[in-house]
Structure formats: C-alpha cells, structure tokens
Amino acid sequence: MTSITSNYTESRCSKDNAALLLIDHQSGTMQLNHDPTPVEFRQAVIALAKVGKIFNLPTILTSNYETGPNGPILQDLLDLHPNAPVIRRPGQISAWDNEEFVAAVKATGRKNLIMAGVTCQVCLAFPAMQAAAEGFNVYGAIDASGSPDAAAREMTVARLVAHGVTPVNWVMVASELQRDWRLPTGPAMTQLFHEYNPNYSMLMDNYQAHTKQAATK
C-alpha cells in the first residue's frame, strides 16, 4: 500500500492536481439528511460543484440504482458538468467497488481527490477510505455530504481521519484552490462566496454599502 503524505506542501490541492467526485447526490437520497439542514446541505453540494466548474477540475458524477427510490442525480449537477463522466452503478453501495468508477477516477491522472457523497457515513466514507488505502490524497467534503444527525457525522469524521482521509468543507476547498484573489478566477469566486456563504455575503454587502456611501460624499 502506498503511504499517504502528511506533508501539506506536497498534498496541497491545486487546479492541476485535484479531481472532484460527487457521489450519489440523488433526488431521493438527498431527503435522508438533516445535518446540516436540507437547505444548507443542498447549498453546499451546489457550491462545491460550482467550485469544480470555476477551476475546471476533472469531475465525475455517480449514482446508485436510479430506477429505485434513490432517484436521479440532481439536475443542477448535470447542468453544471455536462461533459463529466456519469457512472450509473447498478447496485454497489460503495462507488469504489464499481470498476467503471475507479477507472474514470484513475483516468484523470489526479492524485488529490475531493469527494462528497449524499450520505457522509456511507456514500462518502466507504469510497474515501478505499481510495486512501490505494494511495490517493482524499479530502472528504463533510458539509456537502449529509448525515441523519450530528452523532453520525462525528463518528464518521473520526473514522475517516483514522483511515487517512482529510475532512474539509466547500469554503476550504475553494480557498485552497484560489490561493490568491488576484488570479483570473477571483471575480467568479467572489460571486460564489457572495451567493453561497452568508457570512461573506454580509461582509461584501457592508463593504459595497460603505463604498457607495463614500462615493456620494
């Protein structure tokens, strides 16, 4: 087994070394989660998908048993990433148990995998731990991976960390990829933060109000 680097400089995510994996965000299974709230959860999923689009990350979508109660993949994700491989698994609970999914991940040539799954304790946890065991640097987006309650989230994060997976949220991913607001992606990122990060939105609104007021004096 390849050891996972603990050196941040070596494993730091960039637009050139990371891939985004969105696992089982389906209309039925999205309803299973209450931590974070359903609205916050959906917002985090869409925000993370938009981060992938802004930085042109290789992105892979996968679903499980769409013809059953799990339902289809969120249309927003398909619209944001129309050219992404969509792996529709016939039943494997862990996406990493599906050969087509693993082949698509390896075909990206990326060592850093940013993962989110519709349920933190299953859809994210299993493939994340399996990928880490194969030597990938895996970053589990916890806010874009829902849980039924806080207890499930906490025990999942503890298990992920024990198996070498780094817990993150979409803001951390976005900021790590951006690195410098002066880069060309800065305006799109500012808009994304304003739209999906309430605290940042209030900060920007306050700044714009003061700027406008100063300009009228």
Q: Residue 151 corresponds to which tokens in the numbers above?
A: 């207890």
pLDDT band, very low/low/confident/very high, at 11 (cuts 50, 70, 90)? confident
Task: Give the 3-state secondary structure percentages of the chain, helix then strand then coil, rounded to 5.
Answer: 50, 15, 35
> How confident is the model at residue 3, as a pLDDT?
46
> How confident is the model at residue 203, as a pLDDT?
66
pLDDT band, very low/low/confident/very high, at 198 (cuts 50, 70, 90)? confident
> How confident is the model at residue 189, as a pLDDT?
95
pLDDT reading at 216 higher than 80: no
Q: Which positions are catalytic?
A: 123
Strands 18-23 and 137-141: unpaired
Q: 92-151, pLDDT tens digit by residue? A: 999 999 999 999 999 999 999 999 999 999 999 999 999 999 999 999 999 999 999 999
Q: 18-68, pLDDT tens digit by residue? A: 999 999 999 999 998 899 999 999 999 999 999 999 999 999 999 999 989
pTM (whole model) above 0.85: yes
Domains of the chain: 16-178 (3.40.50.850), 180-217 (no CATH)
The residue length of the chain stands at: 217
Phi, psi dihedral angles at 61 (to 5 degrees): -110, 145
> How confident is the model at residue 2, as a pLDDT?
42
